[in-house]
Structure 1
Amino acid sequence: MILEIADITIPPGKQAEFDEAIQRGIATVVSQAQGFRGFKVNKGIESPERYVLMIYWDTLEDHTVGFRGGPLFPQWRAIVGPYFAKPPVVEHFSLLAKSA
């Protein structure tokens, strides 16, 4: 399993709108993607305009080729993209260890 982490910054004062948009975008678009296994969204406390989106994929290619290169990605960006203050920083991780 692959973990995608997107570090997202939005403009001040848009948190309530973005909270709704990101949850709607995941529920209606991202969740349809092949290899999608789940997600978490965390909001910043010290930096309330900062969000960390974590999406779990079966393979790296499910995200980079299937989702990003397919028809769902433009739908996703249409929902959340207008809120981005700058392009998100996106990286992928594999699991090294975890607690029981």
Structure 2
Amino acid sequence: MILEVADIRIHPGQQAAFEEAIERGVSSVIASAKGFLGYSVNRGIESSERYILQIRWATLENHTVDFRESAEFANWRAIVGPFFAGPPVVEHFSLVSQSK
């Protein structure tokens, strides 16, 4: 399993609309992508325009090739992209340990 972590900054005052858009984008676009295993979204407390989107993928290539190189990626960006104050910072992680 690979964890994609996207650090997203949005335009001020757009939190409610962005949260609706990201939920719609995940459920209507990303959820049907090859290798998608689940996701979570967290909003910053100190910085309420900052969000951390975490998506679990079966493999790195499911995100970087299967999804990012598909037409569905453009659909995803059309839904959430207008809210971005700048490009998201995206990194991938592999699990080292976790609690039960």
Give the TM-score taking structure 2 as reference length. 0.99
Partner residue of 1:52?
52
Q: Which residue of 2 aligns with 1:25?
A: 25
* Residue identity in the other structure for 1:93: F
Secondary structure of 2:55's aligned partner: strand
Shift of 1:71: 1.3
Query: What is the RMSD of the two structures over their aligned residues, measured on CA atoms?
Result: 0.4
Q: Distance in 1 between matches of 2:11 and 2:28?
A: 24
1:65 and 2:65 matched = yes
Aligned partners of 1:11 and 1:75: how far apart in 2?
A: 20
Q: CA deviation at 1:30?
A: 0.4
Report the identity percentage: 63
Unaligned runs of 5+ in 1: none
Partner of 2:42: 42
AA aligned opposite 1:98: Q
Aligned length: 100
Listed as ranges, the gaps of 5+ residues in structure 2 are none
Structure 1 ranges of 4+ moved more than 6 A: none
- Give distance in 2, aligned partners of 1:46 and 1:84: 18
SS of the residue corresponding to residue 69 of structure 1 reads coil
Query: TM-score, normalised on structure 1?
Result: 0.99
C-alpha distance in 2 between matches for 1:74 and 1:47: 28
